[in-house]
């Protein structure tokens, strides 16, 4: 499971620095990257004091992909994992900051947000009518 998680993160976020992968999954990332390199699924390239990680042609072939392009691999993973597409790398950091962009999105107000429930509040189950068998025998 650790190897699959590491490979999925590399494939989804590629190119990704090994130091970022370590922040995501901990020091086990070093061992997993070596294992994935040994399997021929991940390529490494020195970037300063860390490594840049990307998937290989063998990765694409293993998963039946016709492309090694990161965008295509990301779409494949989004479809397989059922996750929403992420914005392109850097899209959020490149957008000019506005007063509204610093705020989290507003949540719709619900009664539970407005005030705590009163002591006499009923649960949804208490509001439901009793099932027929609890009322008594049918007189049909």
Question: What pLDDT digit, counting tens, does each position of 14-71 carry?
Answer: 999 999 999 999 999 999 999 999 999 999 999 999 999 999 999 999 999 999 999 9
Judge if pTM exceeds 0.85. Answer: no
Asked if pLDDT for residue 111 goes beyond 50, the answer is no
For residue 98, give the 3-state DSSP assignment: coil
Asked if pLDDT for residue 115 goes beyond 70, the answer is no
**Greater pLDDT, 90 or 133:** 90
Asked if pLDDT for residue 121 goes beyond 50, the answer is no
Q: Which CATH class is domain 2-83?
A: mainly alpha
Give the H/E segment covering residue 103.
none
How far apart, in whole angstroms, are the C-alpha atoms of residue 138 and residue 132? 8
């Amino acid at each position: 499971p650790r190897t699959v998680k590491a490979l999925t993160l590399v494939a989804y976020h590629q190119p990704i620095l090994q130091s970022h992968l370590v922040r995501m999954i901990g020091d086990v990332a070093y061992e997993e990257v070596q294992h994935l390199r040994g399997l021929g699924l991940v390529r490494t390239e020195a970037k300063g004091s860390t490594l840049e990680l990307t998937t290989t042609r063998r990765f694409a072939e293993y998963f039946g992909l016709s492309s090694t392009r990161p965008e295509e691999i990301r779409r494949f993973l989004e479809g397989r994992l059922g996750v929403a597409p992420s914005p392109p790398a850097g899209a959020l950091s490149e957008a000019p900051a506005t007063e509204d962009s610093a705020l989290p999105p507003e949540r719709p107000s619900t009664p539970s947000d407005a005030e705590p429930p009163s002591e006499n509040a009923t649960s949804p189950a208490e509001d439901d009518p009793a099932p027929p068998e609890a009322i008594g025998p049918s007189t049909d």
